[in-house]
Amino acid sequence: MQEFLQHLAGEIDKLHEAKTYKTEVALEGPQDHRVRVNGRDVVMLTSNNYLGLANHPRIRRAAIAAVEAWGAGMGSVRFICGTQTLHKQLEATISRFYETDDTILYSSCWNANEACFATLTGAEDAIVSDELNHASIIDGIRLAKAKRYVYKHNDMTDLEGKLKQARSEGARFVLAITDGVFSMEGELAPLPEIIAACERHDAALVVDDSHATGLLGARGRGTAEELGVWGKVPIHTGTLGKAMGSAMGGYVTGPRAVVETLRQRSRPYLFSNSLAPAVAGAAMEAFRMVLEDPSRTATVQANARYFRERMTAAGFRIPRGIHPIVPVIVGDTALAMAMGKDLLERGVYVSGFGFPVVPQGHARLRAQVSAAHTREDLDLAVAAFVEVAKQHGVL
Ligand SMILES: Cc1ncc(COP(=O)(O)O)c(C=O)c1O
């Protein structure tokens, strides 16, 4: 045991030496457009709370009402005694949102992605995946027995090649999977081209729209709506932990046979507790809010445009795009980390990412804009960025 613990401590030391040891900043209150850190209110510019619902009065009330009506939890998986009509209502609400046959809830989108591939495919099948897909997709694919084909990031020629190869190597069924939005860049997958390629090679397409549901498209339906191909993505996975209330939970939504197979066979569903009523109640209210009024979606989009324009005008290197994820590229990892620290000192909380999370030389501060931000919040953030960048010789 002693040797084992010494080994682990040595591995942790290596993280410190490589400056990749992660520390956590404890918020002293709720997640919102401003948060309390070390006794001070700072602009929160690094959260996935895209619609600003994490601390919204309607969402808080819905969570509390769900506890009052349904209790704290189920003490069970869904198929034994863990299904309340509340869970069925949330699944029906998500299906209404996506205009799909059915939806299955998981305790996270990580679990949803972990469930999908091993359950829906067998050893005779193929899975074709973008190289930069989220870690949960990569791990989910590792659990599957199907043959794996990884295509270069957003490279449609390589996707076409891999789909062809899967077919020529005799795959029974082919499943293609992409993030709708890639979270390090706020970059959208070219869904119209991906859909066309899947149609040409008779592949089933799964899109993980965790960073798009509620915030992209005129009605907040996500990447497919944004790119004019609404209704053409057969299977979506998504999270309840970002725009849609920011609590936790995930889902797969799509054709009845897909959802039914997952309900019967997927291990994270069969062997893990059902969503707590407070979480289900909060998520349902978030979907209702987006269904009945797309104005929050319009606000986060307008805030993203405003922040991107102001930062670009100030001279920062911002990759072109529309998403509220706004990467501010500074190059060096240590510089990104130091700037993040100084920005927090100046009242703006934004995370720095460096190698190996992003390629060498592409370290960045990743700003994330919310519908809850006021123009004052965003102006303050831009001013702090300019000040800190000048101090570090970036501007
Ligand atoms: C694309 C993508 N998929 C899945 C997840 C996991 O979501 P959850 O927090 O619901 O497990 C994330 C979260 O970072 C994500 O960005």
My answer on whether 132 and 277 are in the same domain is: yes
- DSSP H or E segment with residue 384: helix 375-391
My answer on whether 83 and 126 are in the same domain is: yes
My answer on whether 93 and 177 are in the same domain is: yes
My answer on whether 75 and 97 are in the same domain is: yes
pLDDT digits (tens, 9 = 90+) for 130-168: 999 999 999 999 999 999 999 999 999 999 999 999 999
The answer to whether residue 248 scores a pLDDT higher than 90 is yes
pLDDT computed for residue 170 by the predictor? 97
Print the domain residue range for 73.
Answer: 57-292
My answer on whether 155 and 119 are in the same domain is: yes
Residue 14: inside a domain, yes or no?
no
Distances (CA, A) of 44 to 35, 109, 197, 205: 6, 23, 40, 35
Helices (H) and strands (E) in the chain, counts: 14, 15
Coil, helix or strand at residue 71: coil
pLDDT computed for residue 230 by the predictor? 98
Last residue of a domain, one of 292, 318, 333: 292
The answer to whether residue 216 scores a pLDDT higher than 90 is yes
Smallest CA-to-CA distance from 362 within 329, 326, 318 is with 329
Q: Domain count of the chain?
A: 2
Residue 14 a catalytic site member: no
Q: Which of 106, 109, 236 for mutating ligand 1's site (highest number of atoms within 8 Å of CB)? A: 109
Instruction: Give the CATH number, domain containing residue 31.
Output: 3.90.1150.10
My answer on whether 257 and 165 are in the same domain is: yes
**The overall pTM is greater than 0.85:** yes
Residue pair 134/168 in contact (Cβ under 8 Å)? The answer is: no
DSSP 130-168: ETT--HHHHHHHHH--SEEEEEPTT-HHHHHHHHHHHHH
pLDDT digits (tens, 9 = 90+) for 48-61: 999 999 999 999 99
Coil, helix or strand at residue 385: helix
| Token representation of residue 231 | 């209704």
pLDDT computed for residue 21 by the predictor? 86
Last residue of a domain, one of 243, 258, 292: 292
Residue 145 a catalytic site member: no
Residue pair 303/371 in contact (Cβ under 8 Å)? The answer is: yes
- DSSP H or E segment with residue 281: helix 277-292
Nearest atom (ligand 1) to Cα of 133: 1
My answer on whether 217 and 122 are in the same domain is: yes
Q: Which of 132, 133, 134 for mutating ligand 1's site (highest number of atoms within 8 Å of CB)? A: 134
What is the band of 344 on the pLDDT scale with cuts at 50, 70, 90? Answer: very high
Distance between CA atoms of residues 178 and 210, nearest Å: 11
Distance between CA atoms of residues 261 and 246, nearest Å: 28
The answer to whether residue 354 scores a pLDDT higher than 90 is no
Residue 130: inside a domain, yes or no?
yes
My answer on whether 192 and 327 are in the same domain is: no
> Ligand 1 site: residues with CB under 6 angstroms?
108-110, 113, 134, 136, 179, 183, 208, 210-211, 239, 241, 250
Residue 385: inside a domain, yes or no?
yes
pLDDT digits (tens, 9 = 90+) for 188-198: 999 999 999 99
Residue 211 a catalytic site member: yes
Distance between CA atoms of residues 337 and 342, nearest Å: 9
My answer on whether 29 and 164 are in the same domain is: no
Residue pair 368/326 in contact (Cβ under 8 Å)? The answer is: yes
Which residue in 134, 162, 201, 211 is the catalytic one?
211
My answer on whether 234 and 346 are in the same domain is: no
Q: Which residues contact 341 (CB under 8 A, 6 or more apart)?
A: none
| Token representation of residue 123 | 């050893």
Give pairs for 304-313: CB < 8 Å, separation 24+: 304/369, 306/375, 306/378, 307/367, 307/369, 307/373, 307/378, 307/381, 307/382, 310/378, 310/379, 310/382, 311/367, 311/382, 311/385
What is the band of 18 on the pLDDT scale with cuts at 50, 70, 90? Answer: confident
Q: Which residues contact 328 (CB under 8 A, 6 or more apart)?
A: 311, 316, 317, 318, 364, 365, 366, 367, 385
Q: What percent of the chain has pLDDT over 90?
A: 95
Instruction: Give the CATH number, domain containing residue 227.
Output: 3.40.640.10
Distance between CA atoms of residues 118 and 15, nearest Å: 32
Smallest CA-to-CA distance from 119 within 273, 311, 265 is with 265
